[in-house]
Each structure stands twice: as C-alpha cells, then as structure tokens.
Amino acid sequence: MRNWWWIVVCCWLFAGNIMGNSFLSDTVAIDTARLLSDRPLKNPMGAVLRSAILPGWGQWYNEQHAKAGVAFTLNGYFIYKIWDFHRQWRTTRDQGFRDRRNLYTWYFGLAYALTLLDAYVDAYLYGFDQAMRIGWLPQPISTQGVIGWRVSLSF
C-alpha cells in the first residue's frame, strides 16, 4: 500500500461532500454579549470526549469538517498499519514487523493525542474570529448621487 495518501485525499473530499460543501458554509450570527464573554460557546470537554470515542468527531462538533476527515483518516490509517504489522509479525515472527508495529503504535498515540488537543482548543476558541473581527476593507456607498467609501471597525 504505497499510495496511502490517496486514502487521505479521498476521505477529505468525501467528508466535505457529506455536508454539502461545508467548507464554504455561512457563519451563524451569535449574540455579541455571549461571544465576548469568558465562557466558551462550545463545550471543550464535550469535544474531547467525542474525539476520544471516535477520532474526528470532536472536530465535526466544532464545525471543522475538513479537520474531522483528516483526523479520522489519519488515525484509521495508523490503526490499520498496527493491525497489519501485528498480523504479519504473528505469522512470521520477524522482529522487523514487530518494530514497525511498535513504531506505528507511537504514531497513533501521537496523532490521537493531537486530535484530542485540537478538539479542545477549537471548542474553546469557537467564535473567536467573529469576536475579534476587524473590518478594514472599504465598502462603497452611494447616496443621492454621491459616491463614497466607508471603513468600519467591529469589536
């Protein structure tokens, strides 16, 4: 299985198509007082527990669908490689297969921990970009034959 990256790409595209181009989805208006409070909009521990049960589910909960597809695919790939090298080691008793199985176990542990950490951080910072949005782009306005530009700052 030399072209394993094709699996990652296909799962990433599939995850985006399930939600109907969720990468380009509209943002939902959120109450400004709640947005600027210290309390997170999404439950960080809920996101971590979801990712602990099924890697990528916490990212899906945080509306990071592309990350969810990548996390699910990457963790699934490592689990498959662990299983495959373990199976080969049991039939041949070759130490090379055992060493590769152990290496992929470490890779899986690292990917799993990063998936949990990413779910926590994304849930805690959910809506942060909306709270700190500063609009510096000029907007054309036209009233009574006068053309002008408006620049707005939102805090």
Give the model confidence (pLDDT) of 95-119 as tens digits.
Answer: 999 999 999 999 999 999 999 999 9
Residue 155 domain-assigned (yes or no): no
Residue 19 domain-assigned (yes or no): yes
Residue 77 domain-assigned (yes or no): yes
Task: Tell me: pLDDT of 40 over 80.
Answer: no
Which pair of tokens denotes residue 38?
């210290």
Mention every residue, 6+ apart, whose C-beta is less than 8 A from residue 76.
55
Residue 89 domain-assigned (yes or no): yes
Q: Taking the chain, what is the end-to-end CA distance rounded to the nearest angstrom? A: 51
Domain count, the chain: 1
Which pair of tokens denotes residue 146?
């006068």
Residue 129 domain-assigned (yes or no): yes
Residue 28 domain-assigned (yes or no): yes
CA–CA separation, 9 and 105 (whole Å): 22
